[in-house]
Amino acid sequence: MADESTTSEEVCTFCGIPGCDRACSMQTFLIHGRYRTEKWDYNHHVVPPISSSTTYRLESFERGAYGFEHFGSEEETVHPIYIYDRLDEPVRGMLEENLAHAEKGEYAVSFATGMAAISAILGVLLKAGDELVTHRTLYGCTYSLLTRWLPRFGISVRFCDMCDPGSLGETISRRTRAVYFETPVNPTMDLVDIGGVREVVDRATGERPGEDPLEIVVDNTFATPFCQRPLTLGADVVVHSLTKNIGGFGTDMGGAVITPKRHLEALLLFRKDFGGVLSPKSAWPILVYGLPTLALRLKQQQDSANLIARFLARHPKVAHVSYPGLGDGRMQTIAKRQMSDYHGNFAPGMMLYFTLSGDPGESARRCKQIVNFLAGQAYAVTLAVSLGQVRTLIENPVAMTHSAISSEDRARCGLDGSGLRLSVGLEDPKDIIEDLNRALARI
């Protein structure tokens, strides 16, 4: 496991400046990216250009043939020959280099959406007859992908409580090829111990030498690489919805898989053939506005989330608040172990989940009242799905983002009818608290 606390003192090998001996911090890298790259001539633009060309002049028969023959290879990824947008494209390429670096991974492959990225890595890792083991609670569309579509391709999915390492160990079978989870979990903010999962998986793999390795895939959308780098904690692959806090402004959709070299070629071929590419016009704002401001936005959002979580936890009409910066012993221990910013400071993030007091019928009724009050009367808090942007967003997962989970399965997933998911934005936290306080006073 990498010692993250020393990272900011390490001399940069990423920027590409000849003879560079600076020790720049990630905050700086995310603004400047790679100074020397064959994907773009930094001598002329300060801001990367938006390229908008579906096809590329090939110069010669040999260059065209070489580009096709070597598509997907590591060599071709580092020194690209551009042929056609669906194969590779420079704006996306620059974003991918910076994303891989931000997650401390080897390569990133971008996709049109987070769901396209998740479909791609599962499509690459699993085939008919294989089994996927996952946590009982997942983002609604991921749950739908796993229960509605993967079984049609002969891939079975087994759910367990990954907060309990014993339950994971019992669920992994000889057919299991991948373990998939989110941490923090959307929407309940459960934390899965990434290092603990690595230990259970290593033990299971140790019992079947010679077989294909079991891959651990973590959806790091809620934490963002600013708050958590799963690859340094034992995960093999990370997926992201770039639509959320990496994009940060709520203007563009995108997704990414951060991968070791062993899956790079398959992911690029999958993207080429299934076609879920990220448009350069969407990659550009993520490259130019999203990533460069990630650290600054997260620090502010996290400070506000801390204040808001404490306000909610004290409120008599709130039954429970789930926020990694707050909470019971187990959650605190895991949060402190795996959620830290690039300087090693504790980084519990900007997402929180809370439930309302009262019996199930009463609390669900109160939830509806609060949501409707906020929709009509709040200014700093907006009723909307999605998360991780400059505006504070609130929603009720059971009725909205997680409605794909049947009412019978909700209890097993730990979903409460009165649950509210709050994504803290960049407004003055006083104004966010004021809106929540007024809404809570109405019920």
Shortest reach from residue 114's CB to ligand PLP, in Å: 2
Helix (H, G, I), strand (E, B) or coil at 299: helix
CB of 142 to ligand PLP, least distance (A): 6
Binding-residue total with ligand PLP (CB under 6 A): 16
Which parts of 285-344 interact with ligand PLP (CB under 6 A)? Answer: none
Q: What are the residues whose beta carbons fall under 8 Å from the beta carbon of 352, sequence distance 6 or more?
A: 189, 305, 308, 309, 312, 321, 322, 323, 421, 422, 424
Q: Which of 51, 21, 46 is nearest to 35 (CA)?
A: 46
Measure the CA–CA gap between 118 and 256, rounded to whole angstroms.
Answer: 8
Please tell me the distance from the alpha carbon of residue 370 to that of residue 181, in angstroms, as a whole number: 30
* Whole-Å CA distances, 354 to 55, 92, 195, 273: 49, 37, 27, 42
Q: Specify the residue, 115 or 233, whose C-beta has the smaller distance to ligand PLP.
A: 115
> Which residue sits closest to ligand PLP, CB atoms considered?
114
Least Å distance, CB 222 to ligand PLP, is 6
Identified binder of ligand PLP from the candidate list 51, 110, 119, 221, rule CB under 6 A: 221
User: CB-based contacts of 406: which residues, under 8 Å, 6+ apart?
Assistant: none
Handedness of CA 219, 224, 227, 230 (dihedral sign): positive
First vs last C-alpha separation in the chain: 48
> Alpha helix (H) ranges present in 12-146?
26-32, 61-70, 74-78, 90-102, 114-125, 140-144
φ, ψ for residue 136 (rounded to 5)? Answer: -65, -25
Q: Smallest gap, in angstroms, from Cβ of residue 242 to ligand PLP?
A: 7
Of the residues 115, 227, 393, 413, which one makes contact with ligand PLP according to CB under 6 A: 115
Task: Name which of 182 and 435 has its Cβ closer to ligand PLP.
Answer: 182
Q: Which of 214, 218, 253, 367 binds ligand PLP (CB under 6 A)?
A: 253
C-alpha–C-alpha distance, residues 386 and 70, integer Å: 38
Question: Edge-to-edge strands of the sheet including 381-383?
Answer: 318-322, 351-356, 420-423, 392-395, 381-383
Nearer to ligand PLP by Cβ, of 363 and 392: the residue is 392
Where in 153-212 is the site for ligand PLP (CB under 6 A)?
A: 182, 186
Residue 134 in contact with ligand PLP, rule: CB under 6 A: no
Residue 114 binds ligand PLP (CB under 6 A): yes
> Of the two residues 255 and 417, which places its CB atom closer to ligand PLP in the complex?
255
Give 332's contacts (C-beta < 8 A, 6+ positions apart): none
Stretch that binds ligand PLP, among 75-83, 113-121, 122-130, 338-346 (CB under 6 A): 113-121
Report which secondary-structure segment, H or E, holds 438.
helix 429-441
Among 82, 139, 270, 354, binds ligand PLP (CB under 6 A): 139
Stretch that binds ligand PLP, among 12-20, 165-173, 193-201, 219-227 (CB under 6 A): 219-227
- Of 120-128, 217-225, 364-372, 392-400, which part binds ligand PLP (CB under 6 A)? 217-225
Query: Where does this chain touch ligand PLP (CB under 6 A) — which range of 84-92, 126-134, 137-145, 307-315?
Result: 137-145
Q: Name the residue nearer to ligand PLP (CB basis): 98 or 423.
A: 423
Give the residue with the Cβ less far from ligand PLP, 244 or 263: 244
- State yes or no: residue 236 binds ligand PLP (CB under 6 A): no
The amino acid at residue 312 is L
What are the helix (H) ranges across 84-223? 90-102, 114-125, 140-144, 165-171, 194-206
Smallest distance from the beta carbon of 368 to ligand PLP, in angstroms?
23
Query: How many Cβ atoms sit within 10 Å of the Cβ of residue 154?
Result: 11
Per-residue x/- marks for ligand PLP, 57-96, CB under 6 A?
----------------------------------------
What string of DSSP letters covers 301-355? Answer: HHHHHHHHHHHHHH-TTEEEEE-TTSS-HHHHHHHHHH-B-TTS-B---SEEEEE
The piece of 87-95, 136-144, 335-343, 365-373 that touches ligand PLP (CB under 6 A) is 136-144
Pairing of strands 215-219, 381-383: unpaired
Binds ligand PLP by CB under 6 A, chosen from 88, 219, 236, 341: 219
Site for ligand PLP, residues 260 to 289, rule: CB under 6 A: none
The footprint of ligand PLP (CB under 6 A) covers 113-115, 139, 141-142, 182, 186, 219, 221-222, 241, 243-244, 253, 255
